[in-house]
């Protein structure tokens, strides 16, 4: 979405978030986005995005004329990443000819005040300070937390009847093509690692978050008013090149799987994992690798 200089990013993760922007652009469910548009409060609402990362969502929503005024808070536990987001959004605005004024705690982009908030989500929910928001966004976040434990606190961040938009929630299906004999073994082990992950001393993941959110939202008194698939689909074009920086995105996905499983020989034989990664790496370099991940989007209202 922008020409932000890769060298100015503080981590490979920041580049990964920038690279997946075009992947998310294609994936986000348009039916659910239309539901969000219908639900959006009038005027200049306060929007809170948890796990906001590089700030690509606020840029996207401004591009798509969903958000244009008010206050947008980017909450993330990674302070250097928030610093990257401030620069990334400033460059993004400059590329579009939008007025953008840097401020100590964020920036002003046109009529939208973007404020950076450094906090780990669990502690932020425990503190529960500040005025509630009118809109709550979590993109590719809820499959990284213990949803039954976290969801009630998340909804309390909203005013009564406030709007939520929970997007890119992984739902237990990843496909790599062409097929490989070790696909089943590798993905079963990776999903198990997701299900047993712990961060900040708390359970932190569920490989079937998407499908379970239907009933978890209903149980929390906030049933989805719109839901739909938001699958990542990444493939090279006819010339063998991946769009944008999506080859880096795919390399990051492979690295994530490798990092999760390389210390778990009880789940995947090291030789099998090495073989699988080597083949996938060659396919990626040749522009042959196709990646599909099944995910779900939801929009609705907090209890009134």
Instruction: Note the pLDDT tens digit of each residue in 215-267.
Output: 999 999 999 999 999 999 999 999 999 999 999 999 999 999 999 999 888 89
93 in Cβ contact with 99 (< 8 Å): yes
Smallest CA-to-CA distance from 293 within 22, 10, 23, 53 is with: 23
Percent of the chain with pLDDT over 70: 97
In this prediction, residue 96 carries a pLDDT of: 95
Percent of the chain with pLDDT over 90: 90
Confidence of residue 156 (pLDDT cuts 50, 70, 90): very high
Confidence of residue 4 (pLDDT cuts 50, 70, 90): very low
Q: Cα–Cα–Cα angle for 147, 153, 159, nearest 5°? A: 125
243 inside domain = no
107 inside domain = yes
Confidence of residue 7 (pLDDT cuts 50, 70, 90): very low
In this prediction, residue 276 carries a pLDDT of: 98
User: What's the per-residue H, E or C state across the chain?
Assistant: CCCCCHHHCCCHHHHHHHHCHHHHHHHCCHHHHHHHHHHCCCCCCEEEEECCCCCHHHHHHHHCCCCCEEEEEEEECCHHHHHHHHHHHHHHHHHCCCCEEEECCEEEECEEEEEEEECCHHHHHHHCCCCCEEEEEEECCHHHCCHHHHHHHHHCCEEEEEEEEEEEEEEEEEEEECCCCCHHHHHHHHHHHHHHCEECCEECCCCCHHHHHHHHHHHCCCCEEEEEECCEEECCCCCCCCCCCHHHHHHHHHHHHHHHHCCCCCCCCHHHHHHHHHHHHHHHHCCCCEEEEEEEEEEEECCC
259 inside domain = no
Higher pLDDT, 195 or 128: 195
User: The domain containing residue 125 runs over which residues?
Assistant: 6-173+202-233+293-301
Give the total number of structural domains in the chain: 1
271 inside domain = no
Taking residues 278-301, what's their average pLDDT?
A: 98
114 inside domain = yes
At 30-46, the pLDDT tens digits run 999 999 999 999 999 99
129 inside domain = yes
Give the N- to C-terminal CA distance of the chain in Å, as an integer.
36
pLDDT surpasses 80 at 6 = no
At 45-81, the pLDDT tens digits run 999 999 999 999 999 999 999 999 999 999 999 999 9
In this prediction, residue 130 carries a pLDDT of: 77
279 inside domain = no
Q: What is the mean pLDDT of the chain?
A: 94
167 inside domain = yes
Confidence of residue 153 (pLDDT cuts 50, 70, 90): very high
Residues listed for the chain: 304
At 95-115, the pLDDT tens digits run 999 999 999 999 999 999 999
In this prediction, residue 10 carries a pLDDT of: 55
Extract the tokens encoding 126.
């425990």
Q: What is the CATH number of the domain that holds 227?
A: 3.40.50.150
């Amino acid at each position: 979405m922008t020409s932000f200089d890769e060298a100015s990013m503080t981590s490979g993760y920041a580049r990964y978030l920038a690279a997946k922007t075009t992947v998310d652009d294609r994936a986000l469910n348009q039916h659910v986005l239309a539901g969000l548009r219908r639900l959006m409060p009038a005027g200049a609402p306060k929007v809170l995005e948890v796990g906001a990362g590089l700030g690509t969502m606020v840029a996207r929503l401004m591009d798509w004329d969903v958000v244009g005024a008010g206050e947008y808070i980017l909450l993330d536990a990674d302070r250097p990443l928030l610093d990257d987001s401030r620069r990334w959004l400033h460059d993004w605005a400059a590329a579009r000819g939008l007025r953008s004024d840097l401020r100590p705690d964020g920036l002003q982009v046109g009529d939208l005040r973007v404020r950076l908030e450094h906090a780990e989500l669990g502690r932020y929910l425990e503190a529960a300070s500040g005025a509630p928001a009118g809109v709550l966004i979590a993109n590719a976040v809820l499959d990284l937390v213990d949803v039954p434990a976290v969801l009630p606190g998340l909804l309390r961040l909203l005013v009564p009847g406030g709007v939520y938009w929970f997007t890119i929630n992984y739902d237990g299906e990843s496909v790599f093509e062409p097929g490989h004999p070790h696909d089943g073994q590798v993905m079963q082990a990776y999903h198990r690692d997701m299900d047993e992950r712990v961060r900040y001393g708390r359970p932190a993941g569920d490989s079937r978050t998407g499908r379970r959110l239907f009933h978890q939202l209903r149980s929390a008194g906030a049933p989805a008013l719109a839901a739909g698939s938001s699958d990542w689909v990444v493939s090279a074009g006819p010339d063998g090149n991946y769009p944008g920086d999506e080859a880096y995105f795919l390399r990051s996905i492979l690295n994530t799987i490798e990092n999760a499983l390389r210390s778990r020989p009880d789940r995947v034989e090291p030789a099998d994992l090495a073989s699988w990664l080597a083949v996938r790496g060659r396919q990626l370099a040749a522009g042959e690798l196709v990646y599909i991940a099944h995910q779900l989007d939801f929009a609705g209202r907090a209890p009134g």
